[in-house]
Each structure stands twice: as structure tokens, then as C-alpha cells.
Amino acid sequence: MRTPLLPLLALALTCAFGSAQDVTRTSDVIYAKHDGVALTMDVFKPAKPNGAAVIKIISGGWNSNHNGISDGGWPKHGFTTFVVVHGTQPRFHIDEIVGDLQRSVRFIRANAEKFGIDPNKIGVTGDSAGGHLSLMLGTRVIPANPKATDPVDHVSSEVNAVACFYPPVDFLSWAKEGDSKEGVGPLTTRAPAFGPIVTTAEGRDRAGHELSPLFWISDKTPPTYIVQGDADPLVPDSQARRYLARAKEVGAKAEVLIRLGGGHGGWTEVADDNVRMAEWFSLHLLGQQPAKPFNFDISSLPSTPAPKKPAKK
């Protein structure tokens, strides 16, 4: 049974997760209210927090629900973990979901002292649609607005590191360059998630640019680590390869691990990948060097065309 909806930090449930340490769980922390809906997160705090935070986005097909909540194993590495639930499509469209998740980051940063974290040490992670939303948080930042009436808006939506699994990256070129015009990819197959904007060719092009992380990568994008299977039936591995090529072009820090024969998750090395992601966050949020350096080189991947730069608006 779930606990009832509660205001910030009103209820703490202490549970044991594994043998590593006790984790304190605060359930149903409200980070946004609109359209008659309260959006919540659960906070998992380790007994010995390292001062950094990991935001875990619960999303599959841009659907989100409380049944998917778990700490993801991040607290055992010392990370205070914020498991965020967002509004589900088609009631809420992807652009609205991105806005709500940007709000969740600002909420966490604005309340960093209460949560016992450094506001400049925030990572984000997710799988599939959750990976796409993680990349959107990494590439699309709302700056701080010190004149806003809401104190949450006094801080930015910036995250400081990203690590995710098999994320959609470019809706305009799904499996090959420009194939969205042929009805390939989520702009067509997941049209309700984007809303009425995709009912026209012009709208699909606009939504594809606005909601594809690829077109927003810059030299200010935080360090990003992607794990992708090359036999994924849902998200082509060309998506991750395109992200890496674009990041290299603009000078952003990014690395991609391709799991040969890997599908849409479920490979035997997933536990190893989660540990590696924890090392990524430890490196880029805490300055802790991993035993095995991150030294991925795109030249080791089969070649893929570099993405076209987005048209100037």
C-alpha cells in the first residue's frame, strides 16, 4: 500500500536495501501542481551520503507511474536519490513533461540544504523514454530567474552529469537520415505523446527539432554517458552514435558503450553498466577517479553519418 500524498519531507520511511547500509525513504514529495494534478518524487537518502544527488526518471514510452519506483541502487554508492514521476502521455505531451522535469530539478536545487546535497552536484538517469528525458535535461536548461515570485525559479534547471540507457536522441532521423518524413519513428508511431503539433508536416519538423536532444548539444552540455544495445528493436543504435558524433563536433564530453547483441535492455552486463554509471557520476560530480579510466574513442565504432546541424529559426 502506498503512503498518502504528503508535503515536502512530511514522512520518512526507513527501509533496509541490501546489506550495504540503511536508506531513509521520504515518499510523495510534491514538486509541482497544475491541471488538478500533484507531481511527486520519492527521496532515498543513504546513511552516509556523499553530498551528490542522482535524479532517476520513471518513464517508459513517456508513461510514468508510482509502481516503477525503486532507488535503482544509487544510494549504496552514497548518492541521495530522487525518483521522479511525471505526468503521463497523452494527457501530458512530451514538451509539457520536459517542463515539469525541469521544474523537478529546480525544486531539488532550491531545497538542496534541506536534502543535504550540494546544489551543483546533480546527476540524472533513466532508461528509454527516461533516457531521452535525461538528455533533454542535460541539453535544455532554464536559467535562474532571481526576480521570479516563486523561489524555486530563483535557481536553474541545470544538471551536472547524465548517464542513461538506450535513449531516443533524434526524432527526425530515427534509423537513417530524414526517415521521419517517411513515417518512421516516434513522431508517427507515438504521435499522441507529442500532441496535435505532429498532425502536420511542418509541426512534425518543429517538434522533432524542439524535442530531439541532438539539436541542443553544445560545449556547455554536461558530461553524458550512454549505454546502448546494437540489436535494440525499439531504439536503433544509430541514435546513440549520432549523439556521440554531434558531441564530438561541438566539444561536449560524451561517451557511448555499445552492447553487442544487446536489445532494449535485459543483457547480462546490466549490473556492470550500472556500476560504471555510478563511476561516471562519482567522477564528474565528486572528482573521484575510477579504477578503469573512461577513454572511449568514437573511432572504435562502425562509422555513422554525422547529424546535420539544425536549421536556424
Q: Which residue has the cell 535492455?
A: 265
Query: pLDDT per residue over 242-288, tens digit each?
Result: 999 999 999 999 999 999 999 999 999 999 999 999 999 999 999 99
Q: What pLDDT score does 68 carry?
A: 84
Which domains does the chain show, CATH number per domain?
13-170+212-300 (3.40.50.1820)
Q: What is the DSSP string of 147-191?
A: T-SSGGGGS----SEEEEES----SSSSSSTTGGGGT-SHHHHTH
Q: Is the pLDDT of residue 290 over 90?
A: yes
In the chain, the DSSP E strands lie at 13-17, 21-34, 37-46, 53-58, 80-85, 122-127, 161-165, 224-229, 254-259
CB 138 within 8 A of CB 55: no
Q: What pLDDT score does 2 carry?
A: 37
Q: Which of 274, 295, 296, 214 is nearest to 54 (CA)?
A: 274
Q: Judging by DSSP bridges, how do beta strands 224-229 and 254-259 pair with one another?
A: parallel
Buried b (16+ CB within 10 A) or exposed e, 280-306: bbbbbbbeeeeeeebeeeeeebeebee
Query: pLDDT per residue over 84-105, tens digit each?
Result: 999 999 999 999 999 999 999 9
**Rounded mean pLDDT of 211-230?**
98
Peptide bond into 90 cis (omega under 30): yes
Q: Cα 189–138–49 angle (5° rounding)?
A: 120
Residue 107 main-chain phi, psi, to 5 deg = -60, -45
- Alpha-carbon span 128 to 23, nearest angstrom: 27
Q: Amino acid letter at 299?
A: S
- Alpha-carbon span 129 to 87, nearest angstrom: 13
Q: Pull the grid cell for residue 134.
A: 535525461
Q: What is the pTM of this model?
A: 0.89
CB 271 within 8 A of CB 290: no
Q: Pull the grid cell for residue 283.
A: 567522477
- Alpha-carbon span 224 to 244, nearest angstrom: 9
Q: What pLDDT score does 141 carry?
A: 98
**Rounded mean pLDDT of 160-164?**
98
- Alpha-carbon span 51 to 72, nearest angstrom: 18
CB 306 within 8 A of CB 245: yes
Query: pLDDT per residue over 167-201, tens digit each?
Result: 999 999 999 999 999 999 999 999 999 999 999 99
Q: What pLDDT score does 313 carry?
A: 41
